[in-house]
Amino acid sequence: MYCTPADLEKLLAPETLGQLADDGPDGPAPETVLLEAIEQADREIDAYLGVARAVPLEPAPAIVANLSAKIAVYNLYRRRPHLEAGEWAGEYQRALKLLERIAEGRLSLGGGEGPAGPLEPHAMAVISRPPHFGDRRLRRF
């Protein structure tokens, strides 16, 4: 796992986290619900990053642990459609964009893994008017 339930407690108040994870006496234990939300987040992260590198990441970079926690919180909110996800929907979208950039090689996880340089050579195209003074005219000076 890239994050732990303790990481989720850093993002949400314990009362809110408890409400999102508690399915009542007939449901699974809140700890089980938290772990499932984290596992879902980790699978989503692996789906993105597995394109460019071996997954699961061992050890997990701090940014991946942070993304896992944010996606897990969003997953908990999705379990409760009557609750407004608010800022967490935006955090989820930002996390996905970040994962896309990492998978494309435009953002590094650090640690020296992955491509060392740019994925493709860079070139610059220049379009301009024909010169006023060609080579023949300039040679006379």
Rounded-to-integer distance, Cα 71 and Cα 103, Å: 17
101 has a pLDDT exceeding 50: yes
* Two structure tokens written together for 105: 């090689």
Rounded-to-integer distance, Cα 128 and Cα 92, Å: 44
Rounded-to-integer distance, Cα 92 and Cα 98, Å: 10
The pLDDT tens digits for 41-100 are 999 999 999 988 899 999 999 999 999 999 999 999 999 888 888 899 999 999 999 999
* Two structure tokens written together for 131: 């010169």
Q: Count the Cβ atoms, other than its own, within 10 Å of residue 71.
A: 26
Q: For position 130, what pLDDT does the model report?
A: 77
Among the residues of the chain, which ranges form H helices?
5-11, 14-21, 30-49, 62-78, 87-103, 135-139
What pTM was estimated for this model as a whole? 0.76
What lies within 8 Å, CB to CB, of 47 at 6+ separation is: none
